[in-house]
């Protein structure tokens, strides 16, 4: 009995000791966590309380000041509504996003020149629903430009991919994606599916020259590229016109040469005059003698 009691007493003491140590450990962790939370530096930032469309003017009632940990604050975040006074949204800013200096700008910065990178050119080409991938293209997409060259009557055309990975800067007057998967028509009602649309591409100066020549002499079509595919995965092809051939030549009709004056036909040769002979005479042969008589 004494042995059992001693064993039970030792077990109770060990359990109590383990509980005390565990409680102290959890208390220390909790205290450390609270100390870390108190040591986190908070920063005041501006967030938008509603969706702000691209090219819309920023108003004070769309902004709200909140405090967030410094580690969660993006670079160039704004903290005072006066910093956005008179500015417009360069892109669509979703609700709850932190307002930064890179997402807003002066009205003059919203145009196409602000989006065009140094050394690039903006060139527009006409498209229709087929050439613009059923009207599903949007600004920011990358496309390949294909030029179909006619080789003559009865000869199949030849296609060259003259530009690869060109960026769509605008569709008609639309500079921003709609987010609905289709390009929204501009105020004039034209769209890539109506046959009266234009697509503006960002290209190099050399590609701008090539695109102009191809637009005047070939049929252009755009091919949408995957955003995961490298731009230089395939080389661009050289546009060729030398081997285009021509329509079958019309056979020439032989014509007589034109003479300066008519030439009379040559005179027929005179008929030979037979030698005269006496058809009225009568010859009588008598032996070895010839006796003529009239």
- DSSP result, 114-153: HHSPTT-EEEEEEE-TTTTGGGT--TT-EEEEEEEE--ST
Question: Model confidence over 157-169: pLDDT tens digits?
Answer: 899 999 999 999 8
Residue entry with tokens 């580690």: 71
Q: How many CB atoms within 10 Å of residue 242? A: 5
Using DSSP, state whether 253 is helix, strand or coil.
coil
Give the CATH fold of the 42-110 domain. Answer: Type Iii Antifreeze Protein Isoform Hplc 12 (3.90.1210)
Mean predicted lDDT score pLDDT of the chain: 77
pLDDT at 20: 86
Cβ contact 121:208 at 8 Å: yes
Closest CA to 168 of 201, 192, 191, 137: 201
Q: Which two structure tokens, joined as six digits, stand for 55?
A: 């090219």
Question: Model confidence over 198-246: pLDDT tens digits?
Answer: 999 999 999 999 999 999 999 999 999 998 888 888 899 988 876 544 4
pLDDT at residue 87 tops 60? yes
Question: What is the rounded distance in angstroms from the CA atom of residue 139 to the CA atom of residue 144?
Answer: 14
Domain with CATH 3.90.1210.10 in the chain: 42-110
Question: What is the rounded distance in angstroms from the CA atom of residue 258 to the CA atom of residue 276?
Answer: 48
Residue entry with tokens 């034109």: 258
Q: Which two structure tokens, joined as six digits, stand for 194?
A: 């109506």
Question: Model confidence over 40-79: pLDDT tens digits?
Answer: 788 899 999 999 988 788 898 999 999 988 888 888 899 9
**At a CB cut-off of 8 Å and minimum separation 6, what does 180 contact?**
none
């Amino acid at each position: 009995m004494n042995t059992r009691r001693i064993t039970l007493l030792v077990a109770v003491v060990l359990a109590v000791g383990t509980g005390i140590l565990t409680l102290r450990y959890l208390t220390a962790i909790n205290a450390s966590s609270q100390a870390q939370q108190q040591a986190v530096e908070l920063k005041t930032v501006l967030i938008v309380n509603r969706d702000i469309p691209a090219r819309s003017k920023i108003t004070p009632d769309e902004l709200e000041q909140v405090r967030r940990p410094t580690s969660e604050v993006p670079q160039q975040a704004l903290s005072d509504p006066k910093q956005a006074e008179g500015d417009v949204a360069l892109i669509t800013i979703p609700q709850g996003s932190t307002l930064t200096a890179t997402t807003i700008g002066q009205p003059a910065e919203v145009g196409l020149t602000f989006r065009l990178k140094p050394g690039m050119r903006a060139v527009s080409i006409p498209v229709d629903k087929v050439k613009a991938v059923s009207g599903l293209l949007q600004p920011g997409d990358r496309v390949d430009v294909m030029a179909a060259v006619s080789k003559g009557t009865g000869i199949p055309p030849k296609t060259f991919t003259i530009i690869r990975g060109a960026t769509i800067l605008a569709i008609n007057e639309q500079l921003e994606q709609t987010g609905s998967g289709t390009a929204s028509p501009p105020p004039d009602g034209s769209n890539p599916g109506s046959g009266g649309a234009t697509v503006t591409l960002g290209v190099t100066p050399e590609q701008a020259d090539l695109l102009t020549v191809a637009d005047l002499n070939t049929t252009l079509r755009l091919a949408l590229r995957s955003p995961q595919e490298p731009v230089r995965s395939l080389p661009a092809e050289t546009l060729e016109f030398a081997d285009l051939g021509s329509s079958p030549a019309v056979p020439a009709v032989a014509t007589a040469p034109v003479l300066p004056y008519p030439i009379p036909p040559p005179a027929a040769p005179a008929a030979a005059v037979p030698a005269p002979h006496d058809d009225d005479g009568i010859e009588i042969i008598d032996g070895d003698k010839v006796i003529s008589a009239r």
